[in-house]
């Protein structure tokens, strides 16, 4: 059984990474995307699972437990600790930007994911079955699209 304990130095580094990520996301004025974070173990959270981040309250909210099919889709070989998924809210994007909503949403997610990939050397992109994962965590795949999935 692996120990989920991490050193004070590692915790400080992860905290700094989180601050950088929040700063990057908060630099966008009108957001049409939202990140969902999947924690594979209890190093960063009380319980492994799928979380959304509430930037205004600076708080994580659990969406789904990390069990069964969700775990198989995101991390079948248990090779990494965390996944960040960026979703595009189509209804919000179209309401905000009109006919250019989809393109603007993709640009926003591209800006966010590129910023993260450039900051963290061990971050990579993966592909997951978008509709199945979206449905499993209770998001309507007709209105909200999974655009980018990064692992760290």
String of DSSP letters for the chain:
-------HHHHHHHHHHHHHHHHHHHT-SS--EEEEEEESSSSSSSS-EEEEEETTTTEEEEEEES-HHHHHHH-TT---SEEEEEEEEHHHHHHHHGGGHHHHHHHHHHHHHHHHHHH-TT-EE----HHHHHHHTT--TTTEEEEEEEE-
pTM summary value: 0.75
pLDDT digit string, tens, across residues 60-102: 888 888 777 777 777 667 677 788 889 999 998 999 889 999 9
pLDDT digit string, tens, across residues 29-55: 667 888 888 887 767 677 888 888 776
């Amino acid at each position: 059984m692996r120990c989920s304990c991490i050193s004070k130095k590692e915790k400080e580094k992860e905290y700094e990474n989180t601050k950088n990520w929040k700063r990057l996301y908060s630099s966008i004025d009108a957001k049409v995307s939202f990140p969902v974070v999947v924690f594979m173990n209890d190093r960063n959270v009380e319980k492994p699972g799928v979380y959304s981040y509430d930037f205004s309250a600076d708080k994580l909210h659990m969406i789904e437990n990390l069990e069964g099919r969700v775990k198989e889709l995101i991390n079948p070989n248990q090779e990494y600790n965390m996944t960040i998924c960026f979703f595009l809210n189509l209804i919000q994007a179209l309401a905000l930007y009109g006919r250019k909503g989809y393109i603007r949403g993709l640009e926003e997610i591209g800006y966010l994911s590129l910023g993260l990939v450039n900051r963290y050397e061990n971050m990579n992109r993966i592909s997951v079955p978008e509709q199945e994962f979206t449905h499993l965590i209770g998001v309507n795949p007709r209105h909200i699209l999974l655009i980018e999935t990064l692992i760290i």
